[in-house]
Structure 1
Amino acid sequence: MWRIFYPRSDDEPQIPMPWSFGSLGDVVWLTLPFCRAALVELACRHLESSLPEMQPLDQITEFDLIIRVVLPWTRKVLLDPDLTWEREQLVRFLQTVIKHLSQFEYAIDMYYLNGLQDPPYPAALRELSPELYRALFNGAE
């Protein structure tokens, strides 16, 4: 996932990302700096839940990631046109997700797009980027 953002030539050694939140989590980490604190908080909750009875450490699910971190942030950004920098980051995130949709299709369709289908979010997304809106909602106007 790291190479999506930092491509290398074939003669460069590949440097692995030492910590990973999974493919979609890494995209969130790398494209949405405003979501990092919430992602860290979610990771801490997962770590703390494994402490009491020596439970195995669970990976953060795409459901948790989208419902608890990305969707609330997206809704806030879509409804506040004054958040210029955050809106640019949202566009970058959505462009990356669309480019690599085959990796995230189920999670994006089931959790993210379903969470953005009710008003006022579709109109706000269409206003932010008509091209992204069409790509995400299969050409719908």
Structure 2
Amino acid sequence: MWSIEFDPSTRLMTLRLVHQVTAPQMRALSRAHSSALAATGGEPFKVLGDLRGLTPLDIESASLFTELRRAAASLPGFLRRAVLTDSPTVAMQQRRSVYEEAGSRERELITLDEGEARAFLARD
């Protein structure tokens, strides 16, 4: 199950994924994500990926989620992303995909600590 929302007042896009997200569900999320990215209007934005309660993604779903991350990061308005999870396995899966692509640790945080995620996103 997933949800996505963009708050124009805070310029924060929140993706919430819980339980098991299959490849067809991830493709539907991808379409909604494209609309949410368009809603940023090219202005600066940040992303919170709330993956608390998510089981590890299968290979196809993980690949699709990586594409979502790349799409957001490729936009000039992208500032940073925090991924919040309560699973060390999901955190490891996310770190692997970010760091294998030489993702910037200044723009990407993967954490089990909500306070750390919020503080990271609050930075200017």
TMscore range, shorter length: 0.3 to 0.5
TM-score, structure 2 as length reference: 0.37
Q: Choose 1 or 2 for highest CA Rg.
A: 1
Greater relative contact order (CA < 8 Å, ≥ 6 in sequence): 2
- Which structure features the higher share of strand residues? 2
- Which structure features the higher share of helix residues? 1
